[in-house]
Chain A
Amino acid sequence: MVTYLVRRVSAAVLILLGASFVVYLLTAASGDPLQELRSSTSANRPQLIAQRTELLHLNVPAPLRYFIWLRGAAGCLVPFAGSCDLGKNLQGQPVTEQLGTAMVQTLSLVSAAALLAVVIGVTLGIVTALRRHSALDYGVTFLAFLFFSLPVFWAAVLLKEYGAIGFNNFLSSPRIPAAAVLLIAAVVCAVAALGAGGGVRRRMVAGGSAGAATAAVLTYVSAADWFSAPGLGPVAIALSGAGAAFGFTALTAGLHNTRALYAAFAAAATGVASYFAVQGLLDRATPLMIMLLAAATILAAVLIGFLLGGDDRRGNITAASLTGLLVGLVILIDRFMQAWPAYFSDSRIHGRPIATIGAATPGLEGDLWVTGLDRMTHLLLPTAALVLISIASYTRYARSSMLDVMNMDYVRTARAKGLPEFTVVLRHAFRNALMPLTTIAAVDIGGLIGGAVITESVFSYRGMGSMFVDGLRQVDPNPVMAFFVVVAITALACNLLADLVYAALDPRVKVGA
């Protein structure tokens, strides 16, 4: 294992050195950083050229200049020494500083998008695999490829027009007309009927109930002016807790394990009870406190799972912790919703909360909840754009992987011994179908960090992508190199990580020395 790691890492270092040398030469050959100065008409042009020559060491030939750069970059390997020097950009700002702000922007943009794309993409993939060759399968495949082939700048314009400007207009008087309620309910009804599978009767029941529920919720939301003062309340939290308890138990321990089910329900009940207890506390929340509460939730769940005992305490504990965390998340969402009216009416928001540009409203002041909402309303559109375009690959991979697994012998065995289909799908097939996806997710995240260039530009995020593109456009070599180094390291690290994780998850795979 250690030998393997050392071999992989040393290979990665060599690749990095070789690639950075080539990229450095290509960047140097891509243009003349002095070009704009040469055509300047100012009288002190020679001095300006001298300044820039000195700043970028342009008097040294590019292959040698690489080693000046490399010496500075090598300083980054020493942690906390402050010796990290990736050169300066044309404005004389250290690139490390520029990289710091750019990485924060990109990570905040990419992490939510990656998570959502995996969750939604995998869910759709599994569902379409189970309903192979149905209208639902074809419909989802069609839409996934449609979104996949949408140019992101165009998708962004549509999102801005309808997701931000249109939705903000709607929020100024949030009433859903009856016709719209009926239309949405009809669509939900159709999708549910297609997805339900089984006989005509079962489909009609599924479609009818889903449609009716949607119509009821929408009518209530509109009539109660829910959008102006949204919230979930204890009832919705209890309902989601119960759903989570069933779902997570089925996924982890199996519903036949009644102790695990009880543990999960106990965790959900504790969560709902603590909803009332923590409200006062949450009013004065800090990020640290939220983290401590999450830790406390897990510990409480562990306690519950342990105390319920039985043969499979580990199963109890997992089901209870996941349920507890989900209930905690729902309570957080509810608290964010409580802050909505204050956010909505802020003088800097003036009733148009969904943003089309940037990462935050400048000058907005408020507590954790208000500023948190502000972040979310800014992340909404770019995240949606990224999710739309990256969802297709996850859907397809998850679908084919699930189909593979469903044809395996052990699935047939599971069915043969009389397990319910639900258990076969969730406990036996689904978990194994996820394994190949770790590789894809790891590589995809590496790609997303460097690949959100256009999304960043249309939503005015100044992240890694815009740093790279601006660097190229202005013939500014050092930011381009910094971008390359970060993306290359991420890609190499993600590949390594994927291999290791795969080996850990799948006992058939061994990491060879």
Chain B
Amino acid sequence: MRFGRVSKAVGAAAVTMLVLSGCTAAPGPVSTSASASGAVSGGTAVVAETNAFNSFNPNTGTGSADINSKIAYATHTGFNYIDDKLNIVKNEKFGKYEKISDNPLTIRYTINDGVKWSDGAPVDANDLMLAWAAQSGYYNDATMDKEGNVLAGNHYFEFGGDTAGLAMTELPEIGDNGRSLTLKYTKPFADWEVAFGSPVDVPAHAVAQKAGLKDAAALSSLLKTVPKGNPDEPVTPNADLRKVAEYWNTGFDTKTMPTDTSVFLSNGPYIVTGIVPDQSLTLSRNTDYKWGPAASLDSITVRFIADASAQVAALKNQEADIIAPQPAADSAVQLKAMAGQGVSFNQFDQLSYDHLDLNFTGVFADQNVREAFLKTVPRQDLVNKIIQKLDAGAKPLESQVFLPAQPKYADSIKNNGSAAFVDVDIEGAKRLLNGATPTVRIMYSKANSNRADAFTLIKDAAAKAGFNVVDGGLGADWNTHLGDGSYDAAIFGWNSPGVGVSQIPQLFRSGSVSNYNKFSNADADKLMDQLIVTDDMGKQADLLIQLDKIIWSSDYGLPLFQPPGVVAYSSAVTGIKPMAGQTGVWWNYWQWARK
């Protein structure tokens, strides 16, 4: 009766288990009611974002995804922010900055008393000092080859943004009892106002502690003692600074909620209180915060939804309150259909734009050929067929240096000569060609359907005037061919930052890295040299208007269109305004409210 014995034992075990299960579970202190999640006074809103969060330091190369910058923007404050009209708005409750001198350009940043991190430590000049050290590349003495391999020397902070401005600064001075920082530029710099200090998003005291230093002041003294890097004479790397930089580079990268609170210190209206990797992130009110615009919502939940139509369905099912999906014709149609049913819907022009550039070499070295070709480009037709599916009111872009969102756009297009290219002029093109049938190879990305469509339309129109257009469309590696001379014209896109002017010489100055079509004009160069050292907005605009005219009259190429952006939100939330810049719809998150 072996079976019997086993079964008896099993039976006895069953009784024990029953008792056991009663014992283990009964004292369990698990909350029984769902009332813990009851209503909250300021309410909450759910925002859908395309990319998933992965770093609390959006300044590094690896952490520079748009979503990390948006979270940093919601949890930190700075000296200014950029509004939906692309104006710089100062936040004097946080601190103030003033230009002390024009020559040399000297700016003093002062943070107000009482501004502090969420662990109680003050936000002060040490934080600014660290930000400057990282963003200026002051200590680097590395020499690199074209592929970016370090040949000699040392590279500390892996800053992912543009170092152009702060690279021209000297070692800053800390003053006012550690509350102010004075930056001195060796050369005048037009965009100084947006180059630094907004937001202040990396806590120096936390970095110092992680790098084994006593406190933030010790970190600042370290930064003062390490000499400026000189790539011609690389020195042994400073071990302490190496540790600081390494923590700055990688210590803030995480996809999960850190147990160490010093990783996600806040000095802004919200603080991160929960992360579900690749799914969602929760922002809750930072109760100490009073040095800037007051936020209305108690909490904001960010959900990461990559698929545009999934965002639309989520909005419709009230799982998301605010969405800004990648614009696609079908989701725009869906959103329009929902507009009456508790959903508001805005379209706006993005800061990126597609354009056609002609090489100033080869067949297009002759300005008549350039002009003839540009006369055949059916820009209105391109907009009608490509962009109006998304945005019925879209118009061709008429300026090479301004976007329609900028106030001087309208003034500039009146006299920049763009009027001559509004309508297709096949006869005029034929006259200029005088019987010639030049062969033109156009390069574009085949993967981008907008550009492939644009190519087809341009090809058909140019053929009417006698141009023999060759399809130079390329696959995913198209952009490695920019500027290599394998084509005569290119259709591609630029992203404009919307604020500042330092990107202009990058595109149009003789010999500049991103001047792929070898445009060179002495007058234009002179204007841009002036532009980059002019910080008066009015004078900048004057220079840009002159520049726009020179570029158009050189038959440089044509700006084509801006793909529209889309923002839609539930009528249960208010205060949402679309914005084309980097922060997008987040720019005024403190004004978001729940009805």
Q: Which residues of A contact B (CB under 8 A)?
A: 31-32, 34-35, 37-39, 41-53, 55, 59, 90-93, 97-98, 101-102, 105, 157, 160-161, 164-165, 168, 281, 283-286, 288-289, 292-293, 295-296, 298-300, 302-303, 306-307, 313, 339, 342-343, 346-348, 350, 352, 354-368, 370, 457-460, 462, 466, 475
Closest 10 CB pairs of A and B: A299-B14, A49-B148, A462-B278, A362-B280, A289-B25, A292-B21, A39-B479, A50-B148, A92-B62, A366-B34
Residues in A whose Cβ lies below 8 Å from that of B150: 50
CA distance A343 to B34 in the complex (A): 7
Contact in complex: A357, B310 (CB < 8 Å) = yes
Residues in A whose Cβ lies below 8 Å from that of B482: 39
- Which of A42, A343, A360, A458: most chain B Cβ within 10 A? A42
Residues in A whose Cβ lies below 8 Å from that of B352: none
Residues in B whose Cβ lies below 8 Å from that of A300: 14, 18
Given contacts A91-B253, A288-B25, A347-B40, whether A302 and B14 have CB atoms under 8 Å apart is: yes
Contact in complex: B36, A365 (CB < 8 Å) = yes
Size of B's binding interface in residues, CB under 8 A: 92
Contact in complex: A53, B26 (CB < 8 Å) = no
Does residue B149 face the partner (Cβ distance < 8 Å to A)?
yes
CA distance A97 to B255 in the complex (A): 9
Contact in complex: B158, A47 (CB < 8 Å) = yes
Contact in complex: B148, A303 (CB < 8 Å) = no
Contact in complex: B144, A50 (CB < 8 Å) = yes
Contact in complex: B167, A281 (CB < 8 Å) = no
Contact in complex: B149, A362 (CB < 8 Å) = no
Contact in complex: A53, B149 (CB < 8 Å) = yes
CA distance A141 to B40 in the complex (A): 52
* Pair count A-B, CB < 8 A: 259
Closest to A344 in B: B34
CA distance A306 to B486 in the complex (A): 85
Closest to B494 in A: A41
Least CB distance, A53 to chain B, in whole angstroms: 6
Contact in complex: A346, B37 (CB < 8 Å) = yes
Binding stretch for chain A, among B299-307, B399-407, B576-584: B299-307
- Which of B14, B18, B316, B319: most chain A Cβ within 10 A? B319
Binding stretch for chain A, among B5-13, B389-397, B452-460, B561-569: B5-13
Q: List 25 A-B contacts (CB under 8 A).
A: A32-B477, A37-B148, A41-B503, A41-B506, A41-B514, A44-B162, A47-B137, A47-B158, A49-B147, A50-B142, A53-B149, A93-B54, A97-B255, A101-B277, A101-B278, A164-B317, A281-B22, A281-B26, A288-B25, A292-B20, A348-B44, A358-B279, A366-B37, A367-B34, A457-B306
Contact in complex: B317, A363 (CB < 8 Å) = no
- Which of B137, B281, B314: most chain A Cβ within 10 A? B314
Least CB distance, B29 to chain A, in whole angstroms: 8
Least CB distance, B284 to chain A, in whole angstroms: 9
Residues in A whose Cβ lies below 8 Å from that of B13: 299
Residues in B whose Cβ lies below 8 Å from that of A90: 62
Contact in complex: A296, B30 (CB < 8 Å) = no
Given contacts A35-B480, A50-B144, A360-B279, whether A160 and B32 have CB atoms under 8 Å apart is: no
Least CB distance, B18 to chain A, in whole angstroms: 5
Least CB distance, B414 to chain A, in whole angstroms: 29
B450-508 with Cβ < 8 A to chain A: 476-477, 479-480, 482, 503, 506
CA distance A383 to B4 in the complex (A): 44
Closest to A347 in B: B39
Closest to B27 in A: A284
CA distance A360 to B37 in the complex (A): 15
Given contacts A43-B164, A367-B30, A367-B32, whether A357 and B305 have CB atoms under 8 Å apart is: yes
